[in-house]
Amino acid sequence: MSNRAPIRIERVGSQEHIEPTVGGVGATFLRLLERYGGRWIAWSGGVAGPPRLPTAIGNPSFDLVFVNLSEREISEYYYGMCNRGLWPLMHFMTPNCHFNARHWSTYQRVNEAFAKVAAVEAGPNATLWIQDFHLALTPALVRQRRPRMPIGLFWHVPFPPEQIFRVLPWREDFLHGMLGSDLIGFHIESYAAHFMNCCERILGLQVDRAGGRILVDGRMVTVGVFPLGIPVDYFEGLARSARVKERVRRIRRAMRTQHIVLGVDRLDYTKGILERLLGFERFL
pLDDT mean over 32-46: 82
pLDDT mean over 154-180: 98
What is the rounded distance in angstroms from the CA atom of residue 227 to the CA atom of residue 2? Answer: 18
Mean pLDDT of the chain: 90
Q: pLDDT tens for residues 257-273?
A: 878 888 888 889 999 99
Q: Is the pLDDT of residue 207 over 90?
A: yes
Residue type, 243: R
Is the four-CA dihedral 9, 12, 16, 18 of positive or negative sign? negative
Least confident of 75-84, 192-201, 234-243: 234-243
Closest to 51 in 3D by CA, of 64, 62, 39:
64
Question: What integer pLDDT is reported at residue 37 of this predicted model?
Answer: 80
pLDDT confidence bin for 56, thresholds 50/70/90: very low
Q: Compute the chain's Rg from CA coordinates.
A: 21
Domain extents for the chain? 2-225
What is the rounded distance in angstroms from the CA atom of residue 107 to the CA atom of residue 86? Answer: 11
pLDDT mean over 193-210: 97
What is the rounded distance in angstroms from the CA atom of residue 218 to the CA atom of residue 170? Answer: 23
Q: pLDDT tens for residues 5-31?
A: 877 666 666 666 666 666 667 767 777
Question: What integer pLDDT is reported at residue 34 of this predicted model?
Answer: 76
What is the rounded distance in angstroms from the CA atom of residue 100 to the CA atom of residue 85? Answer: 8
What is the rounded distance in angstroms from the CA atom of residue 15 to the CA atom of residue 34? Answer: 27
CA angle 124, 129, 132 (to 5 degrees): 150
CATH class label, 2-225: alpha beta
Question: N- to C-terminal Cα distance for the chain?
Answer: 45
